[in-house]
Chain A
Amino acid sequence: MLSKKTRQILLGPLSRNNPVIVQILGICSALAVTAKLEPAIVMAISVTAVLAFANVIISLIRNTIPSSIRIIVQLVVAAALVIVVDQVLKAYAYDVSKQLSVFVGLIITNCILMGRLEAFALGNGPWDSFLDGVGNGIGYGLILIIVAFFRELLGSGTLLGYQVIPQIFYDWGYENNGLMILPPMALITVACIIWVHRSRNKELQEK
């Protein structure tokens, strides 16, 4: 269905070219919204949507944007999409939107967004740009969800709000790890993912 090149555009960001754990972009939102799984999933979807459509729009008008003001144009497009996403969340997922608070608005400053617009959409066609946006969004979301999985499981004993660790463990003296709720542990979890990822992909290791 997809040629080898387009497949690379779509699937590359999932592992070898992952925006979070290889390019180390978008770390701040990875720390901020991953205390629970649900906001992390919503955040992942939001970023993927904004990224994909911003990429398409910029790609469509890439030949008409004067190069000297391209950053401003990119920001306007991204900001418009972010506002749409924010309003949709407020309308249909108010609780999650409240949990995510400013971080939906801050998608606009997500380095992945500007990075893809600048590095990919400005030089490629709309279809490729769309796939690139989706791929990077999923690559970002994947890490967010892995981090949030461990943080919610170990920090709150729940997944998506449902109690996962049985009550009998608590009766035996088990306690939730309060540090997992705090941002430092998100950083350490991301570091662990990078550790595992690098040891499986030797060509990514720095000399």
Chain B
Amino acid sequence: MKTLRNYIDKIKPNFMPGGKLAMFRSVFEGFETFLFVPATTSRSGVHIHDNIDSKRTMTIVILALMPALLFGMYNVGYQHYLAVGQLSTVGFWTIFFFGFLAVLPKIIVSYLVGLGIEFTVAQWRGHEIQEGFLVSGMLIPMIVPVDTPLWMIAVATAFAVIFAKEVFGGTGMNIFNVALVTRAFLFFAYPSKMSGDDVFVRTTDTFGLGAGRVVDTFSGATPLGQVATHTGDDMVLTNIVGQPLSLLDYAVGLIPGSIGETSLIAILIGAVILLWTGMASWRVMLSVFAGGLAMAWVANTFASPTYAGSLLSPLTHICLGGFAFAAVFMATDPVTGARTKIGQYIYGFLIGVIAILIRIYNTGYPEGAMLAVLLMNVFAPLIDYFVVEANIKRRLKRAVKA
């Protein structure tokens, strides 16, 4: 650690104004402040800098994402070996390694494209490097199916970073959650690679690992995919080889789905990290789950075979699809969400309601969490505005009375 610090101090003058590499100053500072907490303090006034700057915040969010990511990698391998019928012959590490190889290129592409654009823009405008993409770049690979081609992820990431973030002024200025814009772009531009039965389970080998023939009973439909195409009264959701699933299976998450979203338990570990360190708002998280449960309960009470989703219990709805992931990691994005306390309850509750509403009653979309969060992103400033106005009115009334 000390040698690294010394090395950075040694090369630092080159990047300062007048040095021969001065044009790369923002890149240098980006790396320096990523590695070490900057020692700068306020020079005037009564401001106090918190030790936790936004780079450290991002790091903690990345840490909170790790359980879901690692589980997602294992699950990718698990689903693959289940599909080719070799699950009993391969060990834990082979399964994990397969998933690791399948997911790693997505992470690399997402970071390479996103950070590439961020660095270029920062250089070009002479800004500091903004750290916002550290989290987005990790979220993007976790919310896509395993078989989405890399070039599509690259195009979508570039689109999202430029049009959802940089044109609004960069980190902290964006209206929409960048990772979700990436997913929405992929979803609408390349629907055949983002939904359906062929993309959520990798049936081919990855870099030569795990070759095999797919078993006869295989069907790559996710539980929500099965719900979307279901007709009739009785519904039994199955895994990819036709065995029925229970609520516990949904919670553990060894089911097909986007890479990071399947395991409720892994996501809740992340939620605990976020809440314990105070990085995310528990109000948003809680109210998203409350809204989802409420809407799913209403739908379940008035269950009808026309909308197969209404046959599922509220708890099942919470476990399935990207709902929990959206609640914990997407809705709690402090930039695009509501900021007032009452606003956060409303914002979260409506996300939960709309996600389940879309999921059950719009048969065109098997899952609604992404669209719900994006929609409420638009309304977050409006909610905040009315909460603030109501507060002003209330206090004004009190002041006039007194």
Physical interaction between A and B: yes
A residues adjacent to B (C-beta < 8 A):
173-175, 177-180, 182, 188
> Does residue B189 face the partner (Cβ distance < 8 Å to A)?
yes
Instruction: Please determine whether A173 and B191 come into contact, CB atoms closer than 8 angstroms.
Output: no
> Does residue B193 face the partner (Cβ distance < 8 Å to A)?
yes
> Does residue B163 face the partner (Cβ distance < 8 Å to A)?
yes
- Rounded to whole Å, the gap between the CB of B54 and the closest CB of chain A is 28
Instruction: Please determine whether B192 and A179 come into contact, CB atoms closer than 8 angstroms.
Output: no
Closest to B185 in A: A179
Closest to A178 in B: B189
Partner of B149, one of A173, A179, A188: A173
Cα–Cα distance between A188 and B163 once the two chains are bound (Å): 9
Show 14 A/B contacts (Cβ-Cβ < 8 Å), sorted by A: A173-B149, A173-B151, A175-B152, A175-B190, A175-B193, A177-B155, A177-B189, A177-B190, A178-B189, A178-B190, A179-B185, A179-B188, A179-B189, A188-B163
Q: Which residues in window 285-313 of B have CB below 8 A to A? A: none
Q: Which residues in window 57-86 of B have CB below 8 A to A? A: none
Chain B neighbourhood of A174, CB < 8 A: 151
Chain A neighbourhood of B155, CB < 8 A: 177
B residues adjacent to A (C-beta < 8 A):
149, 151-152, 155, 163, 185, 188-193
- Rounded to whole Å, the gap between the CB of A168 and the closest CB of chain B is 15
- Ranked nearest first, the 5 interchain pairs of A and B with the lowest CB-CB distance are A179-B189, A177-B189, A179-B188, A178-B189, A175-B190
Closest to A175 in B: B190
Instruction: Please determine whether A178 and B151 come into contact, CB atoms closer than 8 angstroms.
Output: no
Name 17 extra pairs, CB < 8 A, besides A175-B190, A177-B190, A178-B191: A173-B149, A173-B151, A174-B151, A175-B152, A175-B192, A175-B193, A177-B155, A177-B189, A178-B188, A178-B189, A178-B190, A179-B185, A179-B188, A179-B189, A180-B189, A182-B188, A188-B163
Chain B neighbourhood of A175, CB < 8 A: 152, 190, 192-193
Cα–Cα distance between A179 and B149 once the two chains are bound (Å): 17
Cα–Cα distance between A177 and B13 once the two chains are bound (Å): 47
Cα–Cα distance between A182 and B185 once the two chains are bound (Å): 11
For the complex, would chain A's binding face be called helix, strand, loop or mixed by DSSP majority?
loop
Chain B neighbourhood of A180, CB < 8 A: 189
- Rounded to whole Å, the gap between the CB of B212 and the closest CB of chain A is 22
Chain A neighbourhood of B189, CB < 8 A: 177-180
- Rounded to whole Å, the gap between the CB of B56 and the closest CB of chain A is 35
Chain A neighbourhood of B188, CB < 8 A: 178-179, 182
Closest to B163 in A: A188
Closest to B186 in A: A179
Cα–Cα distance between A1 and B190 once the two chains are bound (Å): 52
Chain B neighbourhood of A182, CB < 8 A: 188
Cα–Cα distance between A179 and B191 once the two chains are bound (Å): 9
- Rounded to whole Å, the gap between the CB of B52 and the closest CB of chain A is 36
- Rounded to whole Å, the gap between the CB of A186 and the closest CB of chain B is 14
Cα–Cα distance between A182 and B187 once the two chains are bound (Å): 13
Closest to B190 in A: A175
Chain A neighbourhood of B185, CB < 8 A: 179
Cα–Cα distance between A113 and B155 once the two chains are bound (Å): 38
Chain B neighbourhood of A179, CB < 8 A: 185, 188-189
Chain B neighbourhood of A178, CB < 8 A: 188-191
Chain A neighbourhood of B163, CB < 8 A: 188
Closest to B191 in A: A178
Cα–Cα distance between A188 and B192 once the two chains are bound (Å): 23
Closest to B187 in A: A179
Chain B neighbourhood of A177, CB < 8 A: 155, 189-190
Chain B neighbourhood of A188, CB < 8 A: 163
Cα–Cα distance between A18 and B59 once the two chains are bound (Å): 48
Interface centre among B151, B152, B188, B193 (most CB of A within 10 A): B188
- Rounded to whole Å, the gap between the CB of A63 and the closest CB of chain B is 48
Cα–Cα distance between A135 and B188 once the two chains are bound (Å): 37
Cα–Cα distance between A173 and B155 once the two chains are bound (Å): 14
Interface centre among A174, A179, A180 (most CB of B within 10 A): A179
- Rounded to whole Å, the gap between the CB of A42 and the closest CB of chain B is 27
- Rounded to whole Å, the gap between the CB of B153 and the closest CB of chain A is 13
Cα–Cα distance between A184 and B369 once the two chains are bound (Å): 21
Cα–Cα distance between A174 and B192 once the two chains are bound (Å): 12
- Rounded to whole Å, the gap between the CB of A194 and the closest CB of chain B is 11
Chain A neighbourhood of B152, CB < 8 A: 175
- Rounded to whole Å, the gap between the CB of A10 and the closest CB of chain B is 34
